[in-house]
Homo-oligomer: A and B are copies of this chain.
C-alpha cells in the first residue's frame, strides 16, 4: 500500500510526545511512550503505531490508563522483580522494567520480571530488542483481553498473548521474533468486516465452536460474549497443531499473570480497571555460555543460511524473523514514516482537541 504522506521520524516522535505531555504524562514518560509508539511505524507494524494513539487517549479519558500512576515494587531478588504499575501507561513502565532486568541479568546471569495492573505496551519486540546491544537474549510477553478460543472449545479464554524473543548477530540483522500466539488478530477480522468480505476458513469459530467465515457475526458474538472467537496458531482442532498455539497462549498467561498474581485469561477486560493486563520480561546473558563475539558470528552463519534458502516456486525469497522489519526500518529512516490520509486526519483532530499546532 502506497503511503499518502511521509513524515520525518523525529518530527512525528516529538509530535506524539507533545500529545502525551498534554494528556498528563511527565517529561520522562512522554518521550518513552512516543518512542515505543513510533517504533512500531518505523518497523512496519502500523497496527501498533501512531494510528493507535486514539486508544491511549480514550484509555486515559475512561480512567483505564492513569498517566501519573505511581509504580510500586512488590517483590525483588537479584534475579527477579515484580512491579505493580497501578494502572499506568504500558510503555514507560515496561522500558524502565526492561532496563532494570538487563542490569540485573548483567550481574546474575539472567533475570526475569512481571508487571501487573498495566496497560497496552505497544510492540513486544521493542523490549526484547533492548537486550541486544548488551550481548543478551531478550524476552517480552504480554497477556491481552480474551479473544482466543481453546482447541475443541467455543468461548474465549485467552488473548493474542504475543511472545517476543531477540538474539543479536553481527553482520546480519538480529533475529527478532515478535508473534501473537493466535492465528490472526482482531484488527484483521475487523478489516474484512469493513470490506464486507469473508474471513479465511481456519481463522475463527462461531458461537457453537464451528469454523466460520462470517466476520460481522463473529465480531458481534464476540463483543456480546455469546461465544465464538479467534483460533490459536495452528487453527482448528489438533490436525494442524492448534493445541500447540493454545498451549503457547496459556504459557504466556502463566508467565505474565499467574507468576505475579494478576487477572488471567477470560478475567481480563478492556474496561474494568481492576482487570488490567500484565507483562513478562527476561534477559539472559550470552557470556554465561560462550564468548558473545563467537555467538554473533554463529548467528550470522545461521541467519545467512536462512536468508539464502532457495525460495518456493513463485516466491521471491525467505525472511527470518525480524528481517522484513529491519528492511522496512531502513526505508523509513531514508524516506520518513509512511502514513495514510485517515491517520493524518486523526492526528490533526487530536491536535486541535488538545490545542496543539498540527503537523499536517
Contacts and interface: CB of A to CB of B under 8 A. Distances in A.
A44 interface: no
A89 B180 CA distance: 36
Interface residues of A, number: 88
Contact of A250 (B239, B261, B302): B302
A255 B13 CA distance: 35
Contact of A247 (B151, B265, B321): B321
B209 A312 contact: yes
Contacts of A285: 80
A302 B258 contact: yes
Contacts of A152: 311-312, 315-319
A77 B109 contact: yes
Given A79-B108, A286-B259, A295-B259, A321 B235 contact: no
A352 B302 CA distance: 45
A260 interface: yes
Interface in A129-172: 137, 150-155, 157, 165, 167
Contacts of A235: 235, 240
Copies in the complex: 2
A151 B310 contact: no
A110 interface: yes
Given A175-B254, A179-B247, A298-B258, A210 B313 contact: yes
A317 B150 CA distance: 10
Given A152-B318, A153-B312, A289 B110 contact: no
Nearest to A299: B258
Given A80-B109, A261-B294, A321 B243 contact: yes
Nearest to A295: B258
B312 A208 contact: yes
Given A208-B313, A209-B312, A290-B82, A254 B305 contact: no
A290 B259 contact: yes
A326 interface: no
A193 B46 CA distance: 45
A7 interface: no
A264 B320 CA distance: 15
A314 to B, nearest CB: 8
A57 interface: no
Contact of A318 (B150, B244, B264, B312): B150
Contact of A157 (B241, B259, B261, B305): B305
Contacts of A243: 179, 319, 321
A288 interface: yes
A166 B62 CA distance: 38
Given A109-B79, A209-B312, A251-B177, A245 B233 contact: yes
Contact of A288 (B79, B153, B244, B310): B79
Contacts of A266: 305
A117 interface: no
Contact of A298 (B114, B227, B261, B301): B261
A281 interface: no
Contact of A234 (B108, B183, B259, B301): B183
A75 interface: yes
A67 interface: no
Across chains A and B, which 6 residue pairs bring their CB atoms closest together, nearest first?
A209-B312, A79-B109, A80-B288, A247-B321, A177-B247, A179-B244
20 contacts: A77-B288, A79-B108, A79-B109, A79-B288, A80-B289, A150-B318, A151-B318, A154-B313, A175-B250, A177-B248, A179-B243, A179-B248, A209-B313, A233-B240, A241-B245, A243-B321, A250-B321, A259-B290, A261-B298, A265-B305
